[in-house]
Amino acid sequence: MPRLVMKFGGTSVADLEHIKNAASKVKREVENGFEVIVIVSAMSGKTNELIAWVDETSAMVDAREYDAIVSSGENVTAGLMALSLQEMGVPARSWQGWQVPLKTTSAHGAARIEEIPSENLDAKFRQGMQVAVVAGFQGIGADGRITTLGRGGSDTTAVAFAAAMKAERCDIYTDVDGVYTTDPRIEKNARKLDKISYEEMLELASLGAKVLQTRSVELAMRFKVRLRVLSSFETATDNSGTLVCDEEEIMENNVVSGVTYSRDEAKMTLVSVADRPGIAAAIFMALAEAGVNVDMIVQNISEEGRTDMTFSCPTDHVARAQAAVDTAKSSGDINFHGLIADMDVCKISVVGIGMRSHAGVAAKMFEVLSREGVNIKIITTSEIKVSVLVDRKYMELSVQALHDAFELGKTT
């Protein structure tokens, strides 16, 4: 029998009514002849609540206990979804990550999926189970304990199951009806895309568009999973939502496909470091060892053998970064006069495959921002994106101005 993965995010399982609504969508696909693997998130707000409880209880959190607690939200929705389906006459069973088992690394809080043996689910499907409801976001580590896959990780659970169980498609049901040219909550003229390439979606996700977790797009690209994003509040048709697929399948090709933002960025400046070979290596080695996710880097003009080194990292890595450079300073590996952390910045990016063959996107982006009086603090580019770091107060304005200037609201 053909298989389908259907993933429901937090707002799609927010309460019992929503769970019933999602269950009826699953039932329809069973009636269409699919064996269905349903991946559920925790009810919206639940994971945040659990994380707040953890933080309130312990300052130096034991990551294994964090995972034990934070993964529990998905267990509740998996059971409720299986019960709702049973009430509708559909043979369904819930599965926690360890029961499948979904095997991961032991990097608690940010584990990576290693393997999903399909035997257990296959056997139950053969015995008449029509729907396996799997708790998203969680697995079992090599250390035998529960792990979680990082925020938004249920998307990755869904794609990994689609690959492991050879599903025809992976449908991600959420609170928007597809992937838009930018976050529709910020820009009212944002336009839904019918299709987007894996590469562009990967950039959009990693640069802040939280509609899909970055890792889920990576997996979809690697295993050629047909991935669709659609609304759980509308009746789906064959053409609903946005299909994430190979570039070759897309006819319409804008130079820029989307604008995205990441709110939680910090700009860190190491003031007056020695300007000589080996210093950058020493700084960024220390930061890497401390697990700081460094993104953009600039080294300022050197004066009398000394320079300032600026980099960006997520705001919740700032304390770690400070501790790492302080330790490197006291052990004599590096020397600097001070560290300035600017937490009021954000990253704005424009993404598009067309940039490979069209010059001028960066120039136009800078011109638009300067017209709006937005000062650019750091710039990075790659083949299909340009990112800038700007003051957070200009975040909405920058997104809207760029969306407008690149005419993303218009169909081509």
- Residue placing its CB nearer to ligand ADP in the complex, 310 or 349: 349
97 near ligand ADP, rule: CB under 6 A = no
- Closer of 13 and 348 to ligand ASP (Cβ): 13
Of residues 272 through 301, those in contact with ligand ASP by CB under 6 A are: none
Out of 140, 211, 361, 386, name the contact with ligand ADP by CB under 6 A.
211
Exposed, middle or buried by CB within 10 Å (0-12, 13-18, 19+), for 306? middle
Interface residue list for Mg ion (CB under 5 A):
9, 152
| Partner in contact with 137, chosen from Mg ion, ligand ASP, ligand ADP, none, beta carbon below 5 to 8 Å by kind | ligand ASP
Which residues are bridge partners to 319 per DSSP? Answer: none
Residue 209 partner contact from ligand ADP, ligand ASP, Mg ion, none using kind-dependent CB cut-offs of 5 to 8 Å? ligand ADP
Taking the CA of residue 152 as centre, how many other CA atoms within 13 Å lie in the half-sphere pointing to its CB?
14
- Least distance (Å) between residue 178 CB and ligand ADP: 7
How do beta strands 169-174 and 3-8 pair? Answer: parallel
Going 246 to 247 to 253 to 258, the CA torsion angle's sign is positive
The CA distances from residue 142 to 113, 120, 136, 286, in Å, are 11, 19, 18, 27
Chain-centroid distance of CA 122 in Å reads: 29
33-52 binders of ligand ASP (CB under 6 A): 41-42, 47
**Alpha helices by DSSP H, 247-389:** 279-289, 318-330, 361-371
- Least distance to Mg ion from the beta carbon of 46, Å? 13
CA–CA gap between residue 207 and residue 216 (Å, rounded): 14
CB atoms within 10 A of CB 104: 26
Nearer to ligand ADP by Cβ, of 106 and 231: the residue is: 231
Residue whose C-alpha is closest to residue 380's, from 372, 389, 371:
389
41 or 398, CB closer to ligand ASP?
41
Q: How far apart are CA 159 and CA 374, in angstroms?
A: 39
Name the residue nearer to ligand ASP (CB basis): 73 or 241: 73
176 near ligand ADP (CB under 6 A):
yes
- SS percent in the chain: helix, strand, coil, step 5: 40, 25, 35
Q: Judged by CB, which is closer to ligand ADP: 130, or 349? A: 349
Q: How far is the CB of 56 from ligand ASP (least distance, A)?
A: 18
Interaction between residue 372 and ligand ADP (CB under 6 A): no
What sign does the dihedral 74-78-83-89 (CA atoms) show? Answer: positive
**Contact call for residue 210 and ligand ADP (CB under 6 A):** yes
Where do contacts with ligand ADP occur on this chain (CB under 6 A)? Answer: 9-12, 41, 152, 174-176, 179-180, 182-185, 204, 209-211, 258
Give contact residues for ligand ASP (rule: CB under 6 A): 9-10, 41-42, 47, 73, 136-137, 151-155
